Amino acid sequence: MKERQIQIALAAMDLFLEYGYDEVTSADIMAHFGQVPSAMYRHFHSKQEIYQEGVALLSSRLADRLTGSLSFTNLPLPIVIPILPTLPQVYPYPIEDKTKGIHHDLLFRIAANMVPIWERRLKQAKEQREVEIDDVSLKARVCVYGQIGIFLDEGLSGPEKIDKTKEFLFHLLWMDKSH
């Protein structure tokens, strides 16, 4: 993807997340760059294509921030978990009714990006006897989707979500010996 396409897709995501997909037009997106709406077609076929590329780019960047500590260190997991960023720390977009669908698309794409990284790290931790896990793939999915569930809990504040996420991961990986 060319740099200009990346800029357009990410700028469009900012607009979609602020106003909602249906409220943002191609003209709105291109006005951000001081260009006429038809200029969009030099880079994309449709607003939907911009959206799909924007979700892919933004979710990849957020997933990288969430899992960087997992994939670029050989520190034991009990040391990594406390310093591991959580969704409330890296996800800066408020979730409103008009944008819930966009957030769900982003969060599920973030999860899809995170699961393989968690699988590799948990496999490594199992081989090094840091954790006792029978089904690494299942445990990786529970780690990732559990974090999203905590993040989406509207009854918790941001700091509570961070604490609950860390507590959840510790419980799942070290206190739950049933799997």
Residue with the two structure tokens 């008009």: 98
Task: Write down the pLDDT at residue 36.
Answer: 82
Alpha-carbon dihedral sign for residues 169, 170, 174, 176:
negative
pTM for the full model? 0.88
Task: Write down the pLDDT at residue 157.
Answer: 96
Query: How many domains is the chain partitioned into structurally?
Result: 1
Are 66 and 110 spatial neighbours (Cβ–Cβ below 8 Å)?
Answer: yes
Task: Write down the pLDDT at residue 15.
Answer: 95
The domain spanning residue 101 has which CATH number? 1.10.357.10
Where the chain has pLDDT below 50, the residues are 178-179
Task: Write down the pLDDT at residue 178.
Answer: 46
Residue with the two structure tokens 């409330």: 88
**How far, in Å, CA of 72 to CA of 18, rounded?**
33
Tens-digit pLDDT profile for residues 104-121: 999 999 999 999 999 999
Domain that holds residue 68: 3-175
Task: Write down the pLDDT at residue 179.
Answer: 39
